[in-house]
């Protein structure tokens, strides 16, 4: 949120203080820089990877028939549905504040993805989506985006806990319960301390106190929250099935339920670890390698699947999002 606040502060300074021609020049420069930086980091992540050598990766994909037209089309369709439901969710959630078309929702969701690639845990998405709206709406948009992410995280947590419980039971994982209990206590104490400090000192983030955030979410239309949750669930089922489909393509024979217990555990554990989004593939890869080792899947295959998931669900959509970034225009009231 601090990053988003500074970003918005710079944008507001540019919008209201600079001459028109100077403003347009810097505006174009910012858009081009954002796209170039995103492409550069994606390129670096794919070609300068000590864990997964690029040409070995491509050769392995070719050997397993990933480049067949049928496979690529099916994976692309799954990716399309994944992002369609995310875009539809954004359109529905933002509707009480402002009615937008599916095209507008696509521009905002994919453009924000591109702009947030380099920020920790995609925090830049908050500011990127907010600038599509006039100043009067931006604070509300930040909270709606928070709600959207909380709904997705809720699905990840619920299914992750169920999957991880099944995984521990199925594969007889010896958990260090005293250390686990200590970890839970530390997390609970830290959370309670932060909440207590925020309430007592009335600290706020971008003008939002913890109480305001809570009130906003509790008063939000329950029907829209339910729709948002269902769309988040559909997204989750689609990209987790996509992961399972890739397992079958690489010749991994494992039942769908057993695979899902590992996949849901992977997404749960990976979501707990903060990261710069472009390195998200490394975190998921490390967690996935450990979890799939229990069913005898070699590390290289797992890393290839995780990388493919990243390419299809984030790299390709961010390439499309770069078009929206380059064609972005401020709302008329801000000009």
- Is the pLDDT at 155 greater than 60? The verdict is yes
Distance of alpha carbon 307 from the chain centroid? 15
Token pair of 313 as six digits: 């669900």
- Is the pLDDT at 230 greater than 60? The verdict is yes
Residue-by-residue DSSP string for 238-281 = HHHHHHHHHHHHTT----HHHHHHHHHHHHHHHHHS--BGGGHH
Report pLDDT digits (tens) over 28-46: 777 787 788 777 777 777 7
Alpha carbons within 13 angstroms on the beta-carbon side of residue 304 total: 25
Alpha carbon distance 209, 180 (integer Å): 31
Residue 120's SS3 state is strand
- Using 50, 70 and 90 to split pLDDT, how confident is the model at 3? very low
- Is the pLDDT at 2 greater than 50? The verdict is no
Report pLDDT digits (tens) over 264-292: 999 998 887 654 444 556 667 788 888 99
pLDDT of residue 277: 47
Mean pLDDT of 299-321: 93
Structural Rg of the chain based on CA atoms? 21
Average pLDDT taken over every residue of the chain = 82
Alpha carbon distance 292, 47 (integer Å): 25
């Amino acid at each position: 949120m601090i990053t988003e606040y500074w970003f918005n502060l710079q944008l507001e300074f540019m919008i209201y203080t600079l001459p028109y021609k100077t403003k347009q020049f810097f505006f174009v420069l910012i858009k081009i820089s954002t796209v170039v930086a995103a492409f550069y980091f994606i390129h670096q992540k794919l070609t300068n990877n000590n864990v997964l050598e690029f040409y070995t990766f491509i050769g392995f994909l070719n050997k397993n028939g990933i480049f067949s037209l049928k496979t690529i089309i099916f994976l692309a369709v799954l990716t399309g549905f994944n992002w369609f439901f995310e875009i539809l969710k954004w359109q529905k959630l933002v509707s009480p504040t402002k009615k937008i078309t599916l095209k507008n929702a696509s521009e905002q969701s994919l453009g924000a993805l591109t702009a947030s690639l380099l920020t920790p845990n995609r925090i830049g998405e908050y500011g990127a989506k907010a600038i599509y709206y006039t100043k009067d709406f931006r604070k509300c948009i930040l909270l709606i985006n928070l709600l959207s992410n909380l709904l997705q995280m809720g699905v990840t947590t619920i299914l992750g806990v169920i999957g991880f419980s099944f995984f521990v039971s199925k594969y007889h994982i010896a958990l260090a319960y005293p250390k686990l209990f200590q970890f839970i206590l530390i997390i609970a104490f830290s959370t309670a301390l932060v909440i207590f400090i925020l309430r007592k000192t009335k600290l706020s983030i971008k003008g939002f106190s913890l109480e305001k955030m809570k009130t906003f979410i509790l008063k939000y239309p329950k029907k829209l929250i339910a729709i948002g949750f269902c769309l988040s669930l559909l997204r989750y089922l689609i990209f987790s099935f996509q992961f399972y489909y890739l397992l079958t393509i690489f010749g991994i024979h494992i039942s769908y339920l057993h695979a899902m217990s590992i996949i849901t555990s992977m997404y749960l554990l990976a979501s707990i670890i903060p990261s710069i989004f472009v390195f998200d593939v490394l975190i998921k890869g490390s967690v996935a390698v450990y979890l799939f080792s229990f069913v005898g899947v070699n590390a290289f295959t797992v890393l290839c699947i995780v990388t493919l998931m990243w390419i299809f669900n984030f790299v390709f959509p961010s390439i499309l999002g770069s078009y929206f970034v380059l064609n972005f225009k401020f709302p008329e009231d801000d000009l």
